[in-house]
Chain A
Amino acid sequence: MSSPIIELKHVYRSFKTGREIVPVLQDINISVNRLEFLCLVGESGCGKTTTGKIICGLLPTSQGIVEFEGADIASLRGDNQRRFRRSVQIIHQDPYASLNPTQTVSEMLSYPLIRHKLAPHRRGVLQRVRELLDLVDLTPVEDFIDKYPHQLSGGQRQRISIARALTTEPSVIVADESVSMVDVSIRIGLLQMMMDLRDRLDVTIVFITHDLALAKYFAWDGRIGVMYLGRLVEIGRTQQIIRDPQHPYTKVLLSAIPDPDPEKTRSKQHIQLRSEDIRRLTELPPGCSFHPRCPWYVDGVCDKEVPELSVPFQSEFDVEVACIPLERGAELALHDA
């Protein structure tokens, strides 16, 4: 495998709110390989967006390092720092929040081109704006170039956000899908377009979503990382995780999600949680943070030690999980609910 383009090493991040310190990310280790399909999934508040911002250097870590092409991004200066900033872009897929309502499409796309001196002169800028609109399938270009955000549909606004991220010719894009984006009929089109861009422009895309089925679709030939309360609990090949999830949280999650197929979804077996208790980040339980809910919890182990990501004992799978009983090769036994 080629060297990773981005690497997070033992990354921690916390925020101060009032008198409390909220530990939002703990010991995150991820390598993003060049041109792989990588998807981070997890429920609202588990730290996906925070991880995305750290990957892009928009948010410093509290502890741990982020490397871009092997160099610690905190040590980058001058041209190298500018190159990193241009090379790694984030798209917040919230069509309502992220576009400036007072700028036309053409202004929005020209500005970064001029600021980063990415196009030689006015004609060059206009030429590039047209290319970008074409790349995101907003054609005929004339229909869009002078529009303001409010004159565009949600899907078209998202395409503009993507085009804007492409102005700096990035090698990595973090695409963060917000929960509010619910237009089923257009989201797949956007995702397909981004998958095409990867091939056409050699850009690596890290996709962030709370929807495991969407993650499966995007990263079918790649990897999924599952997050729970600020930690990565399982990461591995998508097809394997979907077929045979290893970590208890991933197992419960997959069993809980309804299917858009009446017969399948009504006959699905649901794994019962030990308790429904959901901890807040400020009162994390000791040991594995999933242990109060985990149906496979081992008394005296899971509530004592914090598991780290590792390959399960004697596993034939190419997957890492953070679960101590699995790491030691114990047979998981379900508790009675």
Chain B
Amino acid sequence: MSQNLPPDVVLKVDDLSVVYRTDRGDVKATANVSFELRNGEALALIGESGSGKTTISLALIRKLPRNAVITSGQILYQRNQEVQDVLKLSNRQLREFRWNECAMVFQGAQNAFNPVLNIRKQFEDTAQAHGWTDKAAVRKRALSLLQLVRLDPERVYDAYPHELSGCMKQRTLLALGVLLSPQIVILDEPTTALDILTQRAIIDVLNDMQRQLDFSIIFISHDLSLAAELADHVATVYAGEIIELGGVNDIFYRSLHPYTHGLLTSVPTLDHAQDLLQSIPGSPPNLITPPEGCKFHPRCAFADDICRKENPALTDDVGAHLAACWHKDRLLESRKARA
């Protein structure tokens, strides 16, 4: 294949668009999304419910539902300097890709285990499906991974799913996800709907795993705090587009897009001082007939004629920190004025 990628890039997504065909019209769930994922990096996709985060990740492993169509784009994946186009893989290659290269732990996946098989069987079956039949070796790797996610390995390996709590299942799934040493692990809302003390346990486990195993993470969350804690890079998703992308500190301390800024000023904190919060007016658009121009313009305090007519591109005025907004300077000025 002729494509070349920088050696540390494991995934490069270019101009990806996905629509869902429905009776009411096409839902433009992902529109012209581009980003890169580097070796060992944790990238967070943040955005509100319905903004298109899950759709992006399903497209990456080509697990989209039947009514979805990828209408544009390219997804390049690199291992050992060999580049593959994910959109051109055959069904057989895809099955391999999904476990060996890019594993995904789905939203609410604690129910993903087969209830009548014990955990050992589920690890063995996964390994076997990918040509790994040495059960002793599978066991050895599984136990070390279960240890890594802070479970009692022997007990859990022989347990049935119903004997495990939600948190234990979630951690077991993380261990199963990395069984075949994928380069990329995608986690969709890994802590949503878990109780707070359980969330903390999962976050700590993810931190450990990232430190000790060599893989990149894409995780999806509506919870900004999770991104603040785990991500190296953050992409804000709004109405199916990535509208800002940068290092975690760039996004949290120097956001350039009015939407990201608005999100940040609407989350309460546990600081000892009173929070002065402000919510974003209006509500997220419908993706069948999204607004013309910048999709955020009906809710944006800085919007003017150009915003209503033309959609701004995701560009980098400030180093590697990208934002799609015609008036980045206005946000910067208003922040300076307040400081």
Contact = CB atoms under 8 A, between A and B. Distances in A.
Interface of A: 43-44, 153-156, 179, 182-189, 192, 210-214, 216-217, 220, 239, 242-243, 252-254, 256-263, 265-266, 270, 273, 276, 278, 293
Q: Which 7 A-B pairs have the closest CB atoms?
A: A189-B279, A258-B225, A256-B200, A213-B268, A43-B195, A188-B279, A153-B283
Nearest to B285: A153
A260 B197 contact: no
A156 B272 CA distance: 32
Contacts of A217: 268, 275, 277
A260 B283 contact: no
A68 B189 CA distance: 42
B270 A262 contact: no
Contacts of A270: 200, 204
Contact of A261 (B192, B193, B252, B274): B252
Interface residues of B, number: 44
A188 B48 CA distance: 14
Contact of B48 (A183, A192, A265, A273): A183
Contact of A262 (B199, B204, B249, B277): B249
Interface in B204-261: 204, 222-226, 228-229, 248-249, 252-253
Interface of B: 48-49, 165, 167, 192-193, 195-201, 203-204, 222-226, 228-229, 248-249, 252-253, 262-264, 266-270, 272, 274-275, 277-281, 283-284
B268 A276 contact: no
Query: Which of A44, A260, A263 has the most chain B CB atoms closer than 10 A to its own CB?
Result: A260
A192 B222 CA distance: 21
Contacts of A213: 267-270, 275
B270 A273 contact: no
Contacts of B225: 257-260, 265
Nearest to A44: B195
A260 B266 CA distance: 11
Contacts of B264: 260
Contacts of A266: 228-229
B224 A155 contact: no
B228 A258 contact: yes
Query: Which of B253, B274, B279, B283 has the most chain A CB atoms closer than 10 A to its own CB?
Result: B279
Given A188-B266, A257-B200, A265-B225, 15 more contacts: A182-B49, A184-B222, A185-B283, A212-B196, A213-B270, A216-B270, A256-B200, A257-B196, A258-B225, A259-B228, A259-B269, A262-B228, A262-B253, A276-B167, A276-B198
A242 B196 contact: no
Contacts of B195: 43-44, 210, 278
A126 B195 CA distance: 44
Query: Which of B49, B224, B225, B280 has the most chain A CB atoms closer than 10 A to its own CB?
Result: B225
Contacts of A263: 249
Contact of B248 (A43, A189, A259, A262): A262
A192 B262 CA distance: 16
Nearest to B203: A258
A210 B277 CA distance: 19
20 contacts: A44-B193, A182-B192, A183-B284, A184-B266, A186-B279, A186-B280, A188-B279, A213-B268, A252-B197, A258-B200, A258-B225, A259-B270, A260-B228, A262-B228, A262-B249, A266-B229, A276-B167, A276-B197, A278-B198, A293-B197
Contacts of B268: 188, 211, 213-214, 216-217
A259 B199 CA distance: 13
B48 A182 contact: yes
Contact of A253 (B167, B197, B248): B197
A259 B264 CA distance: 11
Contacts of B267: 184, 213, 260
A188 B275 CA distance: 11
Contacts of A257: 196, 200, 225, 270
Contacts of A44: 193, 195
Contact of A189 (B197, B204, B269, B281): B281
Query: Which of B167, B197, B283 has the most chain A CB atoms closer than 10 A to its own CB?
Result: B197
Contacts of A252: 197
Contact of B283 (A182, A183, A242, A243): A183
B269 A188 contact: no
B239 to A, nearest CB: 12
Contacts of A186: 279-280, 283
Contacts of A192: 277, 279
Contact of A184 (B48, B200, B229): B48
